Structure formats: structure tokens, C-alpha cells
Chains A and B, each alone.
Chain A
Amino acid sequence: MTRPTAKEVKAIADVAGVPVDNEAAARIANSIGPAFDGFAAIAGTLQFDLEPSTFVVVQTSKAAR
């Protein structure tokens, strides 16, 4: 998982149906880059069998309370 470039941001926003100009694309890439960096160690590592609703299962488990 690598942070998107301004050019990639522009393309993704176009596909999403909300086009942005080059300046906005550069700003977005700068803003969300750290989130991509921060999550990079997790992305692509998750087990297959997490569903359904792992969060709710953990949240309501005895250990959580």
C-alpha cells in the first residue's frame, strides 16, 4: 500500500465522479499520504476469515466488558 500521487488522486477522483483540479489533487495527495503510510504495515496482511462482523463479535465478547 503506497500513498497515491497527485496524478493518481486525480484519476481516482474522476472515476468517483467528483473531478478535482491539479492543485486540489496535489493537496489531497499530501493530506492523505500519512494515513497510507501509517496503515501500510497492516494492508495486505489480514487473514481471510475475519467476517462476518469481527468487530461487533469482539466488542460484545466477555473480554471486552
Chain B
Amino acid sequence: MSSEPALMSLTAVAKAIADKRVSSREATQSCLARIVRWQPHLNAFMAIEAEEALKAADAADTALAKGDRRGPLHGVPLAHKDMYYEAGKVVTCGSRIRGDFVATTTSTALQRLKNAGTIRLGSLQMAEFAYGPTGHNSHYGSVHNPFALDHITGGSSSGSGAAVAARLTFAALGSDTGGSIRMPAHFCGVTGLKTTVGRISRAGAMPLSQSLDTVGPLARTAEDCAVLLTLMAGADPEDPTAVSGPVPDYAAATTQSIKGLTIGVPTSFYVDDLDADVAGALEATIAAFKREGANIVAVELPDQRQLSAAAQLVLAVEAAAFHKRWLIERAQDYGAQVLMRLQNGLAIPAVNYLEAMRWRGVALAAHLAAVKGVDAVIAPVSPVPAPTIAESDVGNSPDAEAVIQRLTRFTRPINYLGLPSLSIPSAFTRSGLPVGMQLIGRSFDEATLLRIGAAFQRATDFHERVPQLP
């Protein structure tokens, strides 16, 4: 066991607490001590609730001593992206507009983690209204990458990526509408799961796009993501778009070998114009899958640029509709880039939006036909490792949207298709920046992605690398 409980995985610390080898107080104190050291460098937390966290940890320890174990994550301290409503707590959504918004309900995903015994460390930074892929926030400042402080974390789950990477929390909820879990996972060297649309209830999670939004975890390992998914997935009367039916035991899937599975490698788009380090990471990851017994095949996917364009039309319109009242009444309270992107949706006619929505099923059917016989597709999350905060600070310049679209070009098509995708740490560049690869699955087949991710993590140690303070 590590002398610093915060360095353990979620699964390991939960077991250590259950076995009374580590107390919830020790685990919480360990995270809080790291938060004190790292927060001035990272700006990962929106709010730190040390006193309340320690009080909750003591209560968890007392309950456990009496034989009252609340659930599989009893006494495990976590922090989440500041867009998950928790009754009585301020939920800023990374914005000035909601700077003093106090939630009156608790999101289903958060409540299910609380029911499993987790306790709250505070809340995590994010892009304003989850509408930005870099980690910049003009109201609360940029979040810094733990592996290179002058580089971006990616967004919009910027604080989640940074805090999990720096071992300030054992895991964190993020959300993914156009890449907002996978981008920070890739840039920060952690594991991030974008779930199938409908897999986890979105009730009580700040909306950005009702068609594309998904809830999911960022954690240190695929196994940790599996544990969290099992706890959060399933039907919810508060959100009828969450599918019913039994929830698989995702953690059990992570123990299986990948021998005999078939992994597809796209012949174009996802392999075009890659940074040399990203291209090298892709090749090395494919080689690792081969060594683990997977079959590797080439797959020719339909035109991903069309999917990306459709995703942009849908997202722009739905986001603008959510924000319309504030666009009229409080436009001056938005950051310049977010305001610009929200205004984009105003200019898209309803017929174009509805065509983009109507094509979604057709496009998904075409994708499924293209990947017939393939268990998962591997692709980079982004063509580049993390750029610097300065070079990606494009604000509302005329080129801003083009820069954003380039960064997210490998993630948006997957949101449009509503498919699950797991980002796993796959390499480090020569300058020490993490590189992630995404495994793209079939609808509701997160289990296979987690199985492949876990097998890769048993064979490599990229997910175990801990950033050091300068």
C-alpha cells in the first residue's frame, strides 16, 4: 500500500477503506494535502470544502466501525465538474451568470455515487457552460496541465482532467457533448469514458445539447471507470431518455482477456495529419493490442467530415436555444468566445437543424455496417498533444471556431453517432506530454471498451505516471 492514500486508484482505496487498512479520514486528508499543494499551480478546483469533507469522512469511519457500510465506495472522497446539481450547493457551471446559483435538486448521477458512499471534496473547474475544448475560462482563469503547467488541460471538463491526473481526487464526473471528457483525458494522461447517449441519466446535469450531452467519469484506470459506470447507469424516472434494462457488471468485463477480439483501424480521417508523437502512439498502441491477442483490421468509415458538420449544426442550435433568454438579457455576462459560439446557433434555420437530426439514424446505420465484425475502433483523441495555454487562447478572434473545430475533429463525429468511446493514456511525448487514444464502440457496449482498456493498462504503465510539482 502506498504511504500516500491519494496515490491509490479508486478501486484500491475503496477496498482499503472497506478492509479498514485506510480510514476515510486518511484518504480525505491525503487528497486535501495534495489539493493545498497543487491548487495554486493548477486552478483545478472551483470550491474546496475541506472541513465538510473531513466531517463526512469521520462519519463514514464511525459508520463502518459499527458495521454500516453504505455502498461499494463507502468513505471515498470525490470532486466533480461544477455542473452537477447538488441540493443546497452553489453550481456555477463555470459561468458568471450562474455564479450564485444554488441547486434545489441533486443530479441522478451524483446521487447514485452518494448512495454508494462517496463523500464530497468540493467542485471542479470547467469551461463556461461546458462550451469550450481547451480549458480556458475567462471568468475563473485557465486550468493548467499537471504534466506541463503552461499547457492546456483540454475541456470542457478541465478541472476533472487536471485533478484526477494530479491525484487530488480518485475520480471525477465530466460531461461529453463534443469531446469534453476525452479531450482532458487525452491531454492530462487519465482515463475518460464518454458513454452512449442514454446510458446514464442526465437529470440534474447542466444541459448544453439535449441530443448530444452525455455523463461520464474521468479516473485513473479503466477498472475505476467501470465501477463508476455500473453505479450510475440505468433507467431514471427523472430522465426518460436513460434506457431501461439490466445494467451489466462492467467491472467484471475488465478482468477478461482481449484475445480474439477484433479492433479496427480507420484507413483515413483519424490517421491523417497527425503530429508525429500522436502517430507513433497510435502505432505503438495497435502493436500492444496485437501482443495481447487482438486481431487488427482496417476499417473504411463513412465520411466523418459530414458527421462533424451535422454535429456542429445540432450543437449550435440546441445550445443557442438553451441560452436564448440569457443571450437577450445578460449577453454582457458571457465570456467573449462562449458568447460568439452561442450566437452561431442563431443563424441556422430550423429546417437545416432538423435535417441534421433526421440524418442521425441513417448515419449510425451506415457506421454500424462499416464496422460489422469489429468490436471496437481505435483512433487518436486529437491530432496533437496539449498546446500551450497562450497559443490556444484564441478568444473570439475570427479564427477561433476553426481552431476549436481542428482540436475536436476526432471527437465530434462520435457524439453525433451517440456512441461510447473510452480514452486511455497511451504514450508520453519526448517533452513529457500525455497522449491518449480513444476506443470507439457499438451503442451501449461500454463493456468491450473497458475490457480492452483494462487489458492495455495491465500491459503498460502510462496510466500510473504521476506528475510532479515543479
Point out residues on A near B: beta carbons under 8 Å: 1, 4, 8-9, 12-13, 16-18, 20, 24-25, 27-32, 34-39, 41-44, 46-47, 50-51, 53-60, 63-65
Contact = CB atoms under 8 A, between A and B. Distances in A.
A54 B359 CA distance: 9
B309 A37 contact: yes
Contacts of B308: 38
A26 to B, nearest CB: 8
A63 B244 CA distance: 18
Interface stretch (B44-52, B178-186, B341-349): B341-349
A46 B359 CA distance: 7
B347 A64 contact: no
A51 B442 CA distance: 22
17 contacts: A8-B347, A13-B346, A13-B347, A20-B343, A27-B398, A28-B346, A31-B344, A31-B402, A32-B344, A35-B348, A36-B309, A46-B355, A50-B361, A55-B364, A59-B444, A60-B443, A63-B369
B396 interface: yes
Nearest to B211: A55
Contact of A32 (B310, B316, B396): B316
B358 to A, nearest CB: 5
B360 interface: yes
B385 interface: no
Main secondary structure on B side of the interface with A: helix
B343 A59 contact: no
Given A27-B340, A38-B305, A64-B368, A58 B361 contact: yes
Contacts of A16: 320, 324, 346
B358 A54 contact: yes
Contact of A18 (B197, B309, B327, B356): B327
Nearest to A12: B347
Looking at chain A's contact residues, the main secondary structure is helix
Given A41-B306, A50-B361, A63 B344 contact: no
Contacts of A57: 361
Contacts of B398: 27, 30
Interface in B431-455: 442-445
Given A42-B306, A53-B361, 12 more contacts: A1-B352, A12-B348, A17-B328, A18-B343, A24-B343, A34-B405, A35-B312, A38-B306, A39-B313, A42-B359, A54-B358, A58-B368
B401 interface: yes
Contact of A54 (B196, B347, B362, B444): B362
A47 B362 CA distance: 10
A35 B348 CA distance: 10
Q: Tell me which of A20, A29, A37 has the highest count of chain B C-beta atoms within 10 A of its own C-beta.
A: A20
B243 interface: yes
B306 A20 contact: no
B264 interface: no
Given A55-B364, A57-B361, A64-B443, A39 B309 contact: yes
Question: Nearest 9 pairs between A and B by C-beta?
Answer: A38-B309, A54-B361, A31-B401, A55-B361, A35-B312, A64-B443, A9-B347, A39-B309, A55-B360
A23 to B, nearest CB: 10
Given A17-B324, A27-B396, A39-B313, A50 B358 contact: yes
A16 B94 CA distance: 26
A65 B443 CA distance: 6
B192 interface: no
Contacts of B445: 65
B299 to A, nearest CB: 16
Contacts of A35: 309, 312-313, 316, 348
B154 interface: no
Residue among B327, B352, B361, B444 with max Cβ neighbours from chain A (10 Å): B361
B1 interface: no
Nearest to A35: B312
Contacts of B442: 64-65
B370 to A, nearest CB: 12
Interface in B321-348: 324, 327-328, 340-341, 343-344, 346-348
Interface string B268-300: 000000000000000000000000000000000
